[in-house]
Structure 1
Amino acid sequence: MKFSKATNYALHTMLFLVAEAPNKPVGVQYLAEKQGVSPAYLSKILTKLVKAGLIDSISGANGGYTLGAHKKEISFLDVIHAIEGTASLFNCCLDGETECLIQKAMVSAEQAMEETLKKQKLADLADQIAVKK
């Protein structure tokens, strides 16, 4: 299983906002430079995060992106769902099966993974960064 690069950039961007700039707007250019990605590509990712309510977009000369949700509540799963969506990772290819045992096993594994990602808060990682400084 593999998440997209967009999810990777989204998680790093969100961690930066939680750890380094929880209360001040940060421009897309700066965020893009920190990760070595084009501002246009990162803008598309940031748009998804705004639509999900995880960050806010502020217009103007001193604008940029700020946290939209309370930083202590944002989980890895919130960010992943904002970028990847909520569709199941596995869908049984057999039509007409009343109960696919493989699908059942995969759904169970996916639910366990989602529970783990829901428990992993970005603020917990930000706290670890603060301790290292």
Structure 2
Amino acid sequence: MKYSQATNYALHTMMYFVALPVGSTIGVQRLAELQKLSPTYLSKILTKLVKAGIIESTPGVNGGYRLTRNKADLSFLEVIHAIEGTATLFHDGLHHHECLIQDVMTQAEQQMEDYLKERKLIELVGQVGDVTSLV
């Protein structure tokens, strides 16, 4: 199993959002600088997060992006699904009616998704120190 680099950047980006005070915004340029990414590339990731309803764009002088959800509820799985989609990781192309291999793989994926759904990004913010000083 391997997630794309975009998922890695999205999870790191969301850590900054979770660390911000409620209602605060941050611009794409600042987020890109913090992660040493191209603002254009990061904008594509942010667009996916907006489409998923996790963040929103706010216009104006103090505009940028901000969370649309309660930061305590934001799970790893939501961010991963926003970037990767919800397709299954394993597909049995043999089309057996009762494929035991497919059953094992489906159960394993479900356990992983259950774990990622329970893990909240806010749990990590306290462990990495003062992230808010960076933003």
TM range (shorter): over 0.9
C-alpha displacement of 1:22: 3.9
Amino acid at match of 1:106: M
Q: Deviations over 1:104-130 (max 9, x none)?
A: 100000000001101110111112235
**CA offset digits 1:13-65 (Å, max 9, x no partner):** 00111014543110000101111111011101101101111111101221101
Q: Match of 2:127?
A: 128
> Gaps (5+ residues) in structure 2?
none
Listed as ranges, the matches of 1:103-118 within 5 Å are 103-118=102-117
* Counterpart-to-counterpart distance in 2, 1:100 and 1:28: 46
Alignment of 1:6 onto 2:43: no
In the alignment, what sits opposite 2:74?
Answer: 74
Code of the aligned partner of 1:112:
Q
Task: Determine the C-alpha separation between the residues in 2 that align with 1:22 and 1:94.
Answer: 50
Q: Which runs of 5+ in 1 are unaligned?
A: none
Q: Partners in 1 of 2:34 and 2:13 — Cα distance?
A: 9
Alignment of 1:13-24 (within 5 A): 13-24=13-24
Q: Please name the residue that 1:91 is paired with.
A: 91
Verify the 8 A CA contact 1:19 1:129 in the aligned structure 2: no
RMSD over equivalenced CA pairs, Å = 1.7
User: Percent identity between the aligned chains?
Assistant: 58
**TM-score of the superposed pair, with normalisation by structure 1:** 0.93
Give distance in 2, aligned partners of 1:101 and 1:77.
26
SS of the equivalent of 1:56 reads strand
Equivalent position SS for 1:128: coil
The one-letter code matched in structure 2 to 1:56 is E
Q: Runs of 4 or more off by more than 4 Å in structure 1?
A: 130-133
Does the Cα contact within 8 Å between 1:49 and 1:79 map onto a contact in 2?
yes
SS in 2 for 1:129: coil
